[in-house]
Every structure is written in structure tokens, then in C-alpha cells.
Structure 1
Amino acid sequence: MSVKMIFSDIDGTLINSRHVITEKTIKAIKSCARHQLPFILVSARMPGGILPLQQQLGLSNPIVCYSGALIVRPQQTGSAIQPLLTITMDTETVLTIHQHICKRFPNISFSAYSFDQWLVQEPNNSWIEQERQIAGTAATLCTFQDDDMDVEFAPIHKVLCMGEPEKIDQLYESLLSLKLEVSVFKSKPTYLEIMAKDVGKAGAMNLLMKEYNVRREETIAFGDNFNDLDMLRFAGIGVAMDNAPSQVKGAADFVTLSNDQDGIQAALERFGIVGSIH
């Protein structure tokens, strides 16, 4: 069965450890576009953190944001987003998580995302600054008090918690014990991401596959971390990067080279989707 649709995570997968897309990977993806093969970017990032990469690759397909909580077409991003899909968190749940972190985990950085806004409580926090540099997105100040969570900042698509790995692990277990109606993922050892219950990359894949009239077995997906597991398992061919944790590699159908070794390009060539690129 030939591949008719490609899905790819961004951080740790599409971009390398210097947070750039290499020339060989760009050429491979542009080759897919020339052959009318949809290449869909699927990320926990906000739209503004995906669009520059989409433009760099010359793509015009829909983009999947917040690990599947928001799907938009590129021309629809901005102040008047008309999403193909939007799944948001209950405001009370967001405030409960915020209060829990303030009381139990004061060293954890808390922020949230609403459509194309990144809402932060401490803009000068070192974790916020690190994420700003990686994703290239601006932040908006928000106190996360009841009177601040009005229509301007709601609804919330994702909560991002950043901190030292040990604290992130503790927070993960603590949030599970609260039994909130949310999905909780570690996208890397220092990042914990929280979305509405049942949000996942596989659900976004399924919606777009129906729109493009593509069957599950005709897809390939690339990922490197735990929030990619459902996508890798759902795809016809799930490809893990060599820099992925062992559990993620074990869930994949194939393990390619790392994100620092043009792993996407290598796999696309390995499966005959693109020719040799030099």
C-alpha cells in the first residue's frame, strides 16, 4: 500500500537540537509537496509557533496545534481563526490546576494557550524565556484569577507546565490523583502539557484523513516523545526518531535516524516516498 499522507511532530522530530530544519529535510518535504503528498505538521505548539516552519517548507496544508486540540488552515490563523476543530478545557479546571501548582509546586512555571495567544503569569521567568526563544512566540500577561479569565482569554486549549524533571514527574502523579477531566502528557522531561480529556494527535489525524479521503494504512507518522505515542500507533507506519525514549521506540513500527541526522529524510527515502537527496 502506497503512502498518501504524512504526519510529523516538530520539536525533537522535524527540527534538530539547534531548533532548525536541515536543508536535506527541507528538500525531502518539498519533494513530497511536489508530488501532491500532504505533509501535515502536528505539534503541541500554538499556531504562531508552527506557521513560520510551515512557510519555510512551502506547505499549505492544515496544521494541528496543541496536540490535536486545535486544527486550522494557515490562512485562517490570527485574530479571526476559523478552526476545523477546537477542543477546549473547562475554565474552572484550568483555575484548579493553577491553584494546585501555586500551593504544591511553586517552582513550576505555569502558562496557558488560547487560540493564538500564550498567556503567562511571569513573563520574565527563565522557563518562559526559554520557550519563547525555542518557539519564537510572544506572551500575554494573565494573572489566572477568576476575574481575569474572561472571554478575552478563554477558552483554553492547553496548559503548559515547565520545571526540573523530578518536579515535573511529581506534578504528573499529583495531577493524576486529582482525577480531573484532562489529558496529561510529558512532551519532554521538563515539560508537562495538559489538554481537555480525549485530546490526542490520533484524533486530529483521523479528522484530516477523512477530509483528504485517505485510509489509515496509507499514512506514515513521525514522532519522538510520549505525546506522539497515539499518533505512531494509529498511523499505517509509525516512525520513531532515534533520539526518542525507549518506550516510544518500542511502540513504533520503525526507528529512523535522530533529528540531528535527518531522520525524517532518511525514512522517507527508506520507504520509497522520496528519492535520494544530497
Structure 2
Amino acid sequence: MKYKIIVIDVFNTLLNNKYELTEENRNALLYIQKELGIRVVLTSGRTATALKPLAEELNLREYSGYLIPYHGGQIVNCRSGKVIASHRMATSFVDVLDARARAEGVTLLAFGRDSIFSTDPTDPLAVKESDICGQPLVSKHPRSSEVIKCSFVGEAEKIAELEVVMRRDYGDKLNIFRSSETLLECLPSEVQKIKAISDLLDKLDLSRDELVSVGDSYCDVEMIQLAGLGVAVANAREAVKACADYITTSNEENGVAHLVDKYIRHEYEAVPFSVEDVNSIVPGTLMESLGIRCTKIARGYVEATMPVDIRTRQPMGILHGGASLAFAETLAGFGSVALCNPGEIQVGLQVSGNHVSSALEGDVLRGEASIMHQGRSTHVWSINIYSTKSGKLICTCRVLNSILKQR
């Protein structure tokens, strides 16, 4: 798949625990923008001001990148510097949240364009948010200024209790969720990361299959599930990792650079045999009957082709769905053989697929298989099959292989 856009959560995903952009992650993102033309979008619950230094370091202006701050409350075009979408919180809600914060013994933060109103500007948690966001804390109530989102900060136990109450009283009017144990977010009900990303895809005339999303927290789950390739960093919560197509290394281990190398640059480890070696075992098998030829193989990645002709078509002259599943299982089988240790063999356990588009006789299909899970006894592969004529996705499959000791 030729990915065309990557959306990356910033804190605890792109940046390490010291809030640093490592050289490895920086170089990986500069490479995919310059060499592959992939747009980079930075997203966060924090302000646009907090993201702009990163945008400059990654040359997002030069390469037409975007920012999605405030959990989707804004979309910023880095090339023009203009805010192309924005949402505001009604002043009446700010008043209500102010009163609730004072009653519950927590601190309210109301984020405006240039400053952050706080019910307690001396609260260490408020000061930390101010430092990260690059905006000063003010005690003057923002009645006349634009408020994009509000947050409660406080002790984890109080924030957990407040979340229950707020969802009960305002869940139908506000988008309420915890982004950390000590931070409860309150946004206009229409503000969601997934909606902002979907709107941006529509604006750029891109499909979700061309999207890579990377995140770590509960508020990243929907964008991970939306993407053609949804990725969680290894430091993500278990529930978030369960929703991802792939789990990359942690934010302390250059997880974004690892993802780029593995799925976008395809810089996989070599295997001790060639494509020619793989194709030499094809004669006299189903693979030969279907015209399947391996074109690339490495540890964790395989490409192959299969024609749509008299061997693989239906009577109507279009690709037979069963041929797609056989193609997918073949790709996964080649891939697992490349990952097996000496004395091990692989056998297929399960193959499932969704037929997305049809392919006509005379077309040639290109299959791409990537490892999703490599355990001691099982391998899970994700396979996408494309038309080489139209470039359309024809079928997407999952294959489960069992790894056995050779007898």
C-alpha cells in the first residue's frame, strides 16, 4: 500500500519521556516527506502553540503538513499558517465548569488563543500544562475571549470521581474524557480527533486506506481504528494496543522511526535466501497453477503477483474470491517460512478476507503481506491485494499460521 499521510500523536508517542524529538524520529519523518511525498500531521490535546516548534523542526511548512491540536478542536495548515477549522466552547459552559471546579476542589484550565485561564494559577499541575503548552496562566475570567477547550486538573482520585459526575450531568452536551489520570478534558460535543482527521482526508481527497495513525492513549483509539494502518507504541495502554494493527517500539525507543522503517521504507532484515529460491519451489504446486510469483521477501514482509486470467477468474470474467484467499495464504506462508528457526515448519490455521473491489480479466494483482504478530507458536499476517492497473485495493485479509517443530 502506498501510504500518503501519517497522523502522529505527539506526547508519549512521537516525543520521548523528556519531551524530546529524537534524531532518529526527526530523520524518519523528514525522509518520508522529502523522498516519498507523505504528509505529516501532528495531533495532540494540547495547544497549537505547543506544536509549532515541532512543526518547524520537521519542516511541515515546506512539505504542506498540518496540525490538529486541542483533540481536534482546530486544524492548522502549516504552509499557509492559517487555521482552516476551529470550534469554540460556549461561555455559559465555562461558567458552569468554573463553579464545578471550585466546588470539587480541583483546578479549571480554559484554553484561549494566547493564554490559559486558571482558577488556581499556582497549582503545580496547572503550571506544568502552561509550560508544556507555551501559554501563560491568567486569573482573569475569559468571558470575552475565545475558549477552545477546558480541562480539570487535580488528584487522580478526585478527577476519576469528577469524570463520573460530569458524564452524568453533561455527557450529552460535551465531549468528556480523561487524557491522563490527573487531567479531565471537556470539549464541545462535536470536537473529536477522528472527525478532524476525517475532514482533513476529505479535503485532501485521500482515503482511510492511505492513512497511518500512531498513538498511545484512549483518545487515540478511534484514529487508530480509522487508519489503513493503525499503530500503537509499546508504552500504550493494553486496551489501545489491542485495537492496533501493529505495535511499534516505545516512545523511548524511537517507535515512530521503527514504524517508518518497517512499514513505509520497508527496510526489513534480509533473509538467507532469494526471491529466485522461493519461486524455485513453486512448480508442481497450487501456486504454479494460479500463476503466483514472489517478487520481494524479507523478515516480516513479502510481495508477490498473481494474474487475473482463466486460472483465477469466475465465469463472469472477474477475479474469483477464492483465488484471492489462496494468494493471501501463499504470501503469509512465504513470510512465515522466512521467520522460522531451523527445525521449524509453518502450516496455515485460518484465513479470512474482505473483498473490497473487483478485478477484471487481464489485470495483474500485487499482494503485500506484513507481519502483525510473531509469537513462538503463531504468526499473524495482514495482507492487502491491489490491482496493478487501477491501484485500487481489491481484497484485505488476515492469515493465522501455526509454527511447529519439524518431525
Please give the TM-score of this superposition, normalised by the length of structure 1: 0.89
* 1:128 Cα deviation from its structure 2 partner: 1.8
Asked if structure 1 preserves the Cα contact closer than 8 Å seen for 2:174 and 2:187, the reply is yes
Residue equivalent to 2:132: 134
Counterpart-to-counterpart distance in 2, 1:41 and 1:109: 27
Residue equivalent to 2:151: 160
Counterpart-to-counterpart distance in 2, 1:70 and 1:272: 28
Equivalent residues in 2 for 1:1-40, closer than 5 Å: 1-34=1-34, 35-40=36-41
Unaligned runs of 5+ in 1: none
Choose from 243, 246, 262 the match for 2:254. 262
Q: Does 1:55 align with 2:46?
A: no
Residue equivalent to 2:203: 211
Residue equivalent to 2:46: 45
* 1:91 Cα deviation from its structure 2 partner: 1.4
Q: C-alpha deviations, 1:66-116, integer Å up to 9, x for none?
A: 011111223665xxxx4211112221112112211211x21x221111234
* 1:40 Cα deviation from its structure 2 partner: 0.3
Moved more, 42-51 or 123-132: 123-132
Higher strand residue share: 2
TM-align CA RMSD? 1.8
Asked if structure 2 preserves the Cα contact closer than 8 Å seen for 1:122 and 1:141, the reply is no
Q: Does 1:171 align with 2:162?
A: yes
* 1:225 Cα deviation from its structure 2 partner: 0.4
Unaligned runs of 5+ in 2: 269-407
Residue equivalent to 1:74: 78
Residue equivalent to 1:122: 120
* 1:207 Cα deviation from its structure 2 partner: 1.5
Higher helix residue share: 1
Counterpart-to-counterpart distance in 1, 2:154 and 2:233: 24
1:134 corresponds to which letter in structure 2? I
| Alpha-carbon spacing, 1:273–1:191, altered in 2? closer, same or farther (3 Å) | farther
Structure of greater Rg: 2
Counterpart-to-counterpart distance in 2, 1:274 and 1:195: 39
Asked if structure 2 preserves the Cα contact closer than 8 Å seen for 1:47 and 1:116, the reply is no
Asked if structure 1 preserves the Cα contact closer than 8 Å seen for 2:130 and 2:137, the reply is no
| Alpha-carbon spacing, 1:21–1:211, altered in 2? closer, same or farther (3 Å) | same
Moved more, 164-173 or 37-46: 164-173
Task: Give the match's secondary structure for 1:84.
Answer: strand
Moved more, 122-131 or 193-202: 122-131
* 1:223 Cα deviation from its structure 2 partner: 0.5
Asked if structure 2 preserves the Cα contact closer than 8 Å seen for 1:68 and 1:204, the reply is yes
Residue equivalent to 1:109: 107
Asked if structure 1 preserves the Cα contact closer than 8 Å seen for 2:3 and 2:210, the reply is yes
| Alpha-carbon spacing, 1:57–1:275, altered in 2? closer, same or farther (3 Å) | farther
Counterpart-to-counterpart distance in 1, 2:266 and 2:51: 23
Counterpart-to-counterpart distance in 1, 2:130 and 2:111: 13
* 1:8 Cα deviation from its structure 2 partner: 0.4
Residue equivalent to 1:98: 98
Residue equivalent to 1:272: 264
2:143 corresponds to which letter in structure 1? M
Higher RCO, 1 or 2 (CA under 8 Å, sep at least 6)? 1
Corresponding pairs, count: 263
1:85 corresponds to which letter in structure 2? A
Task: Give the match's secondary structure for 1:85.
Answer: strand
Residue equivalent to 1:249: 241
Counterpart-to-counterpart distance in 2, 1:268 and 1:75: 23
| Alpha-carbon spacing, 1:28–1:68, altered in 2? closer, same or farther (3 Å) | same
Asked if structure 2 preserves the Cα contact closer than 8 Å seen for 1:70 and 1:115, the reply is no
1:184 corresponds to which letter in structure 2? I
Please give the TM-score of this superposition, normalised by the length of structure 2: 0.62
Q: C-alpha deviations, 1:217-262, integer Å up to 9, x for none?
A: 1100001101111111111111111111111111211111110011
Asked if structure 1 preserves the Cα contact closer than 8 Å seen for 2:97 and 2:108, the reply is no
Counterpart-to-counterpart distance in 1, 2:231 and 2:25: 15
Task: Give the match's secondary structure for 1:44.
Answer: coil
Q: C-alpha deviations, 1:116-142, integer Å up to 9, x for none?
A: 43222332221122223333x121414
Asked if structure 1 preserves the Cα contact closer than 8 Å seen for 2:121 and 2:139, the reply is no
Q: C-alpha deviations, 1:47-71, integer Å up to 9, x for none?
A: 1100001111121212111011111
Residue equivalent to 1:88: 88
Task: Give the match's secondary structure for 2:10.
Answer: coil
Residue equivalent to 2:272: none
Asked if structure 2 preserves the Cα contact closer than 8 Å seen for 1:257 and 1:266, the reply is yes
